[in-house]
Structure 1
Amino acid sequence: MTARTRQSVSSDARTGAATPDLEPVKPLLTPKRGRVLVIVAVALAALIGWLYLAATVMAVPEALRSALGPGMNLLNVGGSPQVPAFLTALCAPVTLANGIDPTTVAVTVAMWAAMVFAMMLPTAVPMFTTYAAIAGRARRNGERVPSMGLLGAGYVSVWVAFAVVAGAAQLGLVALGTMSPAMTPLAPALAGTTLMAAGLYQLTPAKYACLTRCRAPFSILASRWRTTDYGMFRLGLEEGVYCLGCCWALMVVMFAVGVMNVVWMAIFTVLMVAEKAGSGRALPRGIGIALLLWGAMLFTLSEPGRRLLGL
């Protein structure tokens, strides 16, 4: 009997019957299937954020919708859909029309949190798919693999903290009279300086360093992989901090174009995804230069800008 035959046939010691070896069972979760499931999960989480933001905008009367920022008039398609009363009650306080109270604070922070889910989770898809690939390999080697939810919880925690700070800043600006109840800047100088600050950050080494890390999650996750729950949560925190360093400036631009402006939310989401999916510095620099020029124009047209230029 050849070695190949001995490997493919085993003899039962008691009956003497020959039975073929069983083929190894294929894993239920292949790398490709795991990647698809991760993308679907992230897409559903982001969709929840977009649905909340859409409900918030739809709760605003169509006649007032264009006041939410440039481009929002594109959503005036003739007639407003019927929004359930409970949804109107949930979302109406976001406009701050009734002043600042605990309900307004809670809904404002919730809106920023929804923006985090809607805008930032799509940019984190490479991190989550990289986790799925490394986790699959670790499982095949018999290693313990913490839940991906811990990685996501750490990542989202950083952006939820940003949402709290941004919500507080928004309420403070409204209280100071520099933002309208519809959450758009009342002074072109504020919008202009915000755009210029964001544009300048796009050109800094700090921006590019954080962007470089976000573009190559495999080397970071593989070298800092953790098998404990806390370790995986902390790794998510680290990834969230670098993502914050990469994208906070574009999120802050929402103060210049209108916090509830879903048109610009979509535009900046596409830009941030493109930044992380690309290579080189051309795109972040191009975005930075465009923001600088836009901000300089607005500041020049403002009263403080004209006084500064002696116009």
Structure 2
Amino acid sequence: MAIACVSMSAMGETPMPGGWSMSMTWSRMCGQTWPRAAASFIGMWIVMMVAMMLPSLAPMLWRYHETAGRLGHSRAGRLTACVGLGYFMVWAALGAAVFPPGAALAGLAMQWPAFARSVPVAIGAAVLIAGMLQFSAWRARHLACCRDTSHCVVEQGRGRSSAAADVAHAWRHGVRRGLHCACCCAGSTAVLLAAGMMDLRVMAAVTAAITAERLAPNGGRVARMIGVVVVAIGGVMLAHAFVRGAIAIAPR
């Protein structure tokens, strides 16, 4: 998995007007169809999300496995795998959803230099808004759901002896967790997409932030501290983009 992430980060980037570089993951390779390009993107997206989310997801999966075992389920390992599969199916669906608009914006940037020059401002604004989202009550509710592991297998222990019913419940539990996580990580995902999806430094920073706010004793305070840092970074990026743009259009 680490090798796959390194290879993704090493993919080519195209220098663009405005002083930024666009990852080629949003574009078709020579002779590649759009469906194949989308499938390639989603595959890389899933690998990246497994690497980023597993550190914060693993304790929940372990708790689920232990609880299922205590409740007498002989298929605890299989049920835990179903939870993880349901969880990452949500992230796969998100990857499928972000590729079409991302590819469309990449195409616009390649064709219209004026649009490309505005991208650094949009990136700075996206990072700034992502930082502000860290302070919202909506996000705090989803973070609380992501941190809560007390209801892992409670419903599953209520007389569901059918193997199919147990698997269906485990799958639904993973999907619910994935939906809460995707909502909670909306800002982090925006930062990842805007600031460098294939940049290992950005990936490492986002992974550390997600893991800290999920596993630290006071996750809400950690999330707000992260928000302060991200807002500051977004503000600096936005200011730098405006200054760079002003210099570019200044008469010589």
TM bin (shorter chain):
0.7 to 0.9
Which residue type is aligned with residue 220 of structure 1? Answer: H
For 1:165-219, what per-residue CA distance to the aligned partner results, in whole angstroms no more than 9, with x for missing partners?
2222321220221899xxx9962211111101211211111211111122221x1
Q: CA RMSD in A?
A: 3.3
Assess if the C-alpha contact under 8 Å between 2:46 and 2:88 holds in 1. Answer: no
**Equivalent residue for 2:214?**
276
Assess if the C-alpha contact under 8 Å between 2:38 and 2:96 holds in 1. Answer: no
How far does residue 252 in structure 1 lie from its aligned partner after superposition? Answer: 1.6
**Equivalent residue for 2:43?**
110
Structure with the bigger percentage of helix: 2
How far does residue 120 in structure 1 lie from its aligned partner after superposition? Answer: 1.3
How far does residue 296 in structure 1 lie from its aligned partner after superposition? Answer: 2.2
How far does residue 150 in structure 1 lie from its aligned partner after superposition? Answer: 1.3
**Equivalent residue for 1:51?**
3
What are structure 1's unaligned runs of at least 5 residues?
Answer: 1-47, 62-66, 70-91
**Equivalent residue for 1:94?**
25
**Equivalent residue for 1:287?**
226
Change (3 A) 1:148 1:280: closer
**Equivalent residue for 1:160?**
92
Assess if the C-alpha contact under 8 Å between 1:151 and 1:233 holds in 2. Answer: yes
Pick the structure with greater CA Rg: 1
Task: Give me the whole-angstrom Cα distance separating, in 2, the residues matched to 1:179 and 1:258.
Answer: 21
Assess if the C-alpha contact under 8 Å between 2:146 and 2:214 holds in 1. Answer: yes
Change (3 A) 1:98 1:155: closer
Which residue type is aligned with residue 257 of structure 1? Answer: A
**Equivalent residue for 2:17?**
none
**Equivalent residue for 2:179?**
241
How far does residue 234 in structure 1 lie from its aligned partner after superposition? Answer: 0.7
How far does residue 222 in structure 1 lie from its aligned partner after superposition? Answer: 3.7
Which residue type is aligned with residue 224 of structure 1? Answer: E
Give % identity.
23
Q: Could you say what secondary structure the match of 2:185 adopts?
A: helix
**Equivalent residue for 1:128?**
61
User: 5 Å matches for 1:257-276?
Assistant: 257-276=195-214
Which residue type is aligned with residue 107 of structure 1? Answer: S
Q: Could you say what secondary structure the match of 2:197 adopts?
A: coil
Which residue type is aligned with residue 287 of structure 1? Answer: I
Worse overlay, 221-230 or 151-160: 221-230
**Residue 202 of structure 1 is aligned with which of 120, 134, 149?**
134
Which residue type is aligned with residue 262 of structure 1? Answer: L
**Equivalent residue for 2:188?**
250
Change (3 A) 1:305 1:242: farther
What are structure 2's unaligned runs of at least 5 residues?
Answer: 14-19, 247-252
How far does residue 293 in structure 1 lie from its aligned partner after superposition? Answer: 2.1
How far does residue 143 in structure 1 lie from its aligned partner after superposition? Answer: 7.2
User: 5 Å matches for 1:3-82?
Assistant: 48=1, 50-58=2-10, 60=12
Task: Give me the whole-angstrom Cα distance separating, in 2, the residues matched to 1:117 and 1:211.
Answer: 19
TM-score for the superposition, normalised by structure 1? 0.64
For 1:234-284, what per-residue CA distance to the aligned partner results, in whole angstroms no more than 9, with x for missing partners?
111111111112212102201222121111101111111111011242211
